[in-house]
Amino acid sequence: MIDARRAVEAVWRIESARIVATLARATGDFGLAEDLAQEALGEALASWPDAGIPANPGAWLVTVGKRRAIDLWRRRGREDERMAAFAAELADATEAGWDPERIEDDVLRLVFIACHPVLSREASVALTLRTVGGLTTEEIASAFLVPVATVQQRIVRAKKTLAAANVPFEAPAPAEYPARLSAVLSVLYLVFNEGYAASSGPEWMRPDLSREALRLARVLVALVPREPEAHGLVALMALTAARFPARLDAAGDPVLLADQDRSRWDRSLIGLGRGALAAADRVGRGRGPYALQAAIAECHDTAASVEATDWSRIVLLYEALGRIAPSPVVDLNRAVALAMAEGPATALLEVDRIAASGALDGYAQLPGVRGELLARLGRPAEARAEYERAARLTGNERERRVFETRRRALE
Amino acid sequence: MAKYMLIMRATDEAVSAYEEIPFEQVIEAMGKYNESLMAAGVMVGGDGLAPEPGVIVDFSTNPPVVTDGPYGETKELFNGFWLLEVPTIEDAAEWAKRCPLGPGSKLEVRRVTGVEDFPADNEWIQKEAEWREQLGR
């Protein structure tokens, strides 16, 4: 039942962040640490399936990483103090420099460096999933439907960029902290959304990718428990992921919120999300954009039906969200809630205003929502034209089918 | 991702041996283990069972017989569980290996069924889903 290779990969998922962090601290070079960690993983994959997993696999991997570092420095003729210290540690004890309880700060530094602003989004995503999440290059490639070589290139390039920018392996200074934390949160949310509504490809959702993003957000919360938005992000992801079991029908097509079988929603995730939202509130610094979005998701998740949903509260929450994080997409969502709270006519005025601004040109959901409102207002010809436009604009095959089904229903 | 239950069982001797260790030490070791599960974002839940003996309802006869226990032929006491959410059973087993338990203790790792394991059109399965909703879990 237990597969030897999968067991090694499981150890890696548990240990990778601490191993890369420990090696980065020890060598002072994040890029090198990542290479060393991957080499250590390669050695584990080669020897553990036969020899068995060592009693302390984390220490084993760090030791191998350090040995590789010494080999490398010797080859380059760099026999300096750091190398001597490594060699002494390795000769002295097998578990040198491995204290899982003392490296939380280093893991946090790792998260910050993987999501550093000098990196592209794609690079940060790949680097975070590989170093913090312990995913293999192959797993990342298949999750994002790109060739393995593309992910490898992104990682190599990312490490070169960090080296070129001389980014230190340090937590950001207090003045930069909020912006840097927000960059970390947005990378995790990007991963979550890629799983939630795959932007390309035949599948509408890749739930495991979203669950991994949720797990990483929980890892982050443990590292920065006093940051309300980290809790807010966990809450948002959990309250959104709770609806996954009801989001697809038997044929794998999306089921919209109104038509979902709410008894299939994941109660334990709703509990986790509500707990995280309460934790964000307990910090006592108010709700940020993630917590506000989580509060909106909570309104849905705790309502027995669409009709029983507190739409007026959702409108308010979207208004608050629109003020602290202005976005035409938020305005569009507010209009959808407004349609439920006050009727389609009020909402259509709002949607037309957004459409006139041009801010959402090319966004499939704009004609999608407009089509829905027009249909409810008894204007089927205009609604059909909007659904046709929405179907043309979306890059997702499954979503296209939903728009087309709605259009046909109005014929 | 799937949910796995780590089911903790121990022999009477292991339970007695455990009682020799200072309570503070036990609670600290378990606390640190649980903290590591939280920090890794894999903990879903868990509970322990109280050490005092319960009763056994044995269905070997009709009507079933209620006796004090478990004693005698029972070699292992079920005394607690964790629920983890991880990608594979190998991950769950790897987490189980890290639990601070001693000789005579065992953790059984089992996958927890989800809605996808049962026919969605069965009325009792649908009822169960509604009950879960009522129970908030």
Give residue-wise pLDDT tens across range A215-249: 999 999 999 999 999 999 999 999 999 998 888 88
Question: Higher confidence at residue B42 or residue A263?
Answer: B42
Nearest residue to A155 via CA among A184, A126, A191: A126
What is the mean pLDDT of the segment spanning B27-42? 94
Largest CA distance in chain B: 52
pLDDT over 80 at A33, yes or no: yes
Give the angle subtended at the CA of A293 by the CAs of A401 and A390, to the nearest 5°: 20
For chain B, domains (ranges, CATH) are 2-114 (3.30.70.1060)
Quote the strand ranges of A264-348, DSSP E. none
The whole-number pLDDT of residue A224 equals 94
Q: For residue B4, what are its two tokens?
A: 């796995």
Looking at every residue in chain B, the average pLDDT score rounds to 88
- Average pLDDT in chain A: 90
What burial class does residue A125 get, using C-beta atoms within 10 Å of its C-beta: 0-12 exposed, 13-18 middle, 19+ buried? Answer: buried
Q: Which residues of B touch A6 (CB under 8 A)?
A: 88, 90
What is the CA angle A219-A220-A223, rounded to 5? 95
Round to whole Å and give the CA distance between A206 and A146: 14
HSE (CB half, 13 Å, CA atoms) of A88?
7
Closest listed residue to residue A407, CA positions, set A394, A388, A393: A388
What integer is the mean pLDDT of A131-151?
A: 90
Q: How confident is the model at residue B128 (pLDDT cuts 50, 70, 90)?
A: confident
Q: Element (H or E) spanning B44, and its range?
A: strand B43-48
Q: So what's the pLDDT on residue A256?
A: 82
Residues of B with CB under 8 A from a CB of A: 1, 32, 36, 38-42, 44-45, 85-91, 93-95, 114-116, 120, 126, 129-130, 132-133, 135-137
For residues A180 and A265, what is the distance between their CA atoms, to the nearest angstrom? 34
A198: confidence class by pLDDT, cuts 50, 70, 90? low
Q: CB within 8 A of B45, min separation 6: which ones?
A: A268, B82, B83
pTM of the model: 0.88
Nearest to A263 among B1, B36, B126 (CB): B126
Residue A77 pLDDT level (bands cut at 50, 70, 90):
confident
pLDDT bracket for residue A143 (50, 70, 90): confident
Distance CA B87, CA A136 (A): 13
Chain A neighbors of B116, CB-CB under 8 A? 245
Q: For A362-386, how does the pLDDT look when each residue is reduced to its tens digit (9 = 90+)?
A: 999 999 999 999 999 999 999 999 9
ipTM over 0.90: no
pLDDT higher than 80, residue A356: yes
More confidently predicted of B136 and A403: A403
The DSSP code for A173 is P
Q: Is the pLDDT of residue A306 over 60?
A: yes
